[in-house]
């Protein structure tokens, strides 16, 4: 079963259980997926779905920070609940050590030296670690690997 099918089944389950918070988050995810499919005229695979989930989680985290700064705990809690629902659709994330090891392997394979090769390394890393690691963490690991 594809990730998109799993999400659709979870939406049906949330509807039957009358779980409005979970249902709302899942509907947002499916709407974002449908929008991407219509805009690009493609059928999304699991990798593209994970990218959409990642994007939505990042948006929610930014919103939580803004709401907390504005002292709106109620809205921050709602966004945090959506993050929890969305994170269930991400694959198991790599640890910081695993990310650093993977980055080191890629840097060695490409023969990259110095900060000037950051773009080349990030391009290769994104294709291999997409959905498996937080890209902010990956970027920091690449900078560290190229600096040392």
Alpha helical stretches, state H, 18-134: 20-40, 46-69, 73-87, 96-110, 118-129
Q: Which DSSP symbol is given to 131?
A: T
Smallest CA-to-CA distance from 32 within 67, 66, 59 is with 59
A 10 A CB-CB count for 58 gives 14
A 10 A CB-CB count for 13 gives 13
User: Could you give the domains of the chain?
Assistant: 3-87 (1.10.1510.10), 96-147 (1.10.10.410)
pLDDT, tens only, 12-45: 999 999 999 999 999 999 999 999 999 999 888 8
pLDDT, tens only, 56-90: 999 999 999 999 999 999 999 999 999 999 988 88
Q: Which DSSP symbol is given to 114?
A: S
């Amino acid at each position: 079963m594809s990730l998109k099918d799993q999400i659709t089944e979870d939406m049906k389950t949330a509807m039957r259980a009358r779980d409005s918070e979970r249902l709302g988050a899942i509907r947002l995810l499916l709407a974002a997926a449908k929008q991407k499919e219509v805009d690009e005229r493609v059928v999304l695979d699991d990798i593209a779905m994970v990218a959409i989930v990642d994007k939505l989680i990042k948006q929610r985290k930014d919103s939580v920070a803004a709401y907390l700064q504005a002292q709106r705990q109620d809205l921050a809690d709602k966004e945090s609940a959506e993050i929890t629902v969305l994170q269930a659709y991400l694959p198991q994330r790599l640890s910081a050590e695993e990310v650093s090891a993977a980055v080191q392997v890629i840097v060695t394979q490409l023969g990259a030296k110095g900060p000037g090769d950051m773009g080349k390394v990030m391009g290769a890393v994104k294709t291999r670690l997409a959905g498996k690691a937080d890209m902010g963490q990956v970027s920091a690991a690449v900078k560290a690997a190229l600096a040392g």
